[in-house]
Structure 1
Amino acid sequence: MLASAADTTKDGDISFEEFCAFEALLCSPDALYLTAFEMFDRNASDSITCDEFEAVIRHSEPLHHMDFDFNSDFIKKYFGADKKRSINYYAFTQLLHDFYEEQGIQAFKRYDKKGDGAITSMDFQHIMTTVKKHLLTDFVRDNLIAVSGGGASGHKVTFPYYAAFNSLLAKMELIKRVYLSQARGNLDLEMTKEEFLQATQSYAQITPYEVEILFHLSELAHPGKKTLALKDIILIDPERLKRVSYVERLINVKAVASKEDRGFGTA
């Protein structure tokens, strides 16, 4: 599939000129999105149809675990009510960014049999370890049932909790930034929930519900101790996940600053 990104004429062959152009593309600041666009643009039209998008995205791992409704309002907002509209590069990047969030919403609805906005902890765990597993560290994965209150009889995970949980994991770099701004070099600083909430007042993106979940996760690492330290943040968002993106789940390619930086295992 990656070879199709270099084959810009889509004739099944990669010429030397196409290879050189692909090499230059990989040096672009938005190389990952550009590469993905070339993979989805199967007829070299510089635009992507709904059929092209569906055909390629179905090869991504999350869709192997849980299907997606390609007749949903979400898809029609991008491709039109009849799904005949093509989208350009910039619209495609936004679609790709929003797609997995929409899949997570659809997954929740699929398990919310009664339509009352709640699912079981086991269903929550299943969604998180399939559709959303790119957001999970080993620590978070091992504590999904505990953090969602699965030990309590009849406990349900509500949609607000589900949304806040996923939103928290997606913005852990911002969480780390807030902590470091307060630590001022003291990386052993332990913050209380009240102190951290106060520090987030300048960041409207972080909600009190997300902070509540953050401290619950943190306490699972040291039961009875209701503080947050850098080591807790790392457990939830380790270094290896810093550069996880929606595009990297589709392609395994590493952009480099220049052609001279290329080596084995890089593109």
Structure 2
Amino acid sequence: MRTTQRLDDVTKTTRIDLNSDMGEGFGPWTIGDGVDEQLMPLISSANIATGFHAGDPNIMRRMVLLARTHGVGIGAHPGFRDLVGFGRRHINAPADELVNDMVYQLGALREFARLAGMSLQHIKPHGALYMHAARDEALSRALVTALQQIEPTLRLFCMESSVTFQVARELGQPVVREFYADRDYDLSGSIVFTRRVGALDPEAVAAKVLRACTDGVVRTVEGQDVAIGFDSVCIHSDTPGALALVQATRRALADHGIEVAGLAGTTAPAQA
């Protein structure tokens, strides 16, 4: 969670959660640079792919054990049933069908967590499904209602500007607001969704995160600043050069006295 303290009327962020999507391969295939093992010690929350957009039982089991080794909180990362499109293509399906898919995926990871003596701390829909829920009240309401029945204390990752956030707050589901370090924003405070991301400058990404943490704003594609509220910073593991992005971001945060800490307040391991 983002923790702040007030000094001489200036709000200063002192700790922040850092999350990344993990286990986004399938069998022998990997997505992105294949750096899950190097990334896991540097983050505090892992969103583990649950089989529909990426991931399989063996990968899920390995990611859970890796997260346990490094003291990283784990969450289910359910997506559209779209392995070919990596879950970044929209599927037009009824809300109840999509929620059933998410509950199915959540249950799969929950069992692997139990097998490792762990519990899930959060759920974060993936890709196009995340963006669909962000603007679709019927889907967000159906998802949160289901969570209220099966996992009422499970944190739901979403953007502050999303319908998902509004519905979760209304129904009392714990939420974690995200800031996307490796995505552009528009004036609505939402990310600009894309299916493919090119290589980014690690120092520029680190500066963007630091500015969001210290000033509470982000520069939009329209060239204006908007206020941004968040509890966790996301850097996607499939973004080219993801390891360098996380390393640069951690250096920038540490240089300004901001520690990477888990949602439950557990400090993530220091950067090697």
Q: TM-score range by the shorter chain?
A: under 0.3
| Greater Rg by CA | 1
Higher helix share: 1
Q: Which of the pair has the greater relative contact order for Cα pairs under 8 Å at 6+ separation?
A: 2
TM-score (norm 1): 0.25
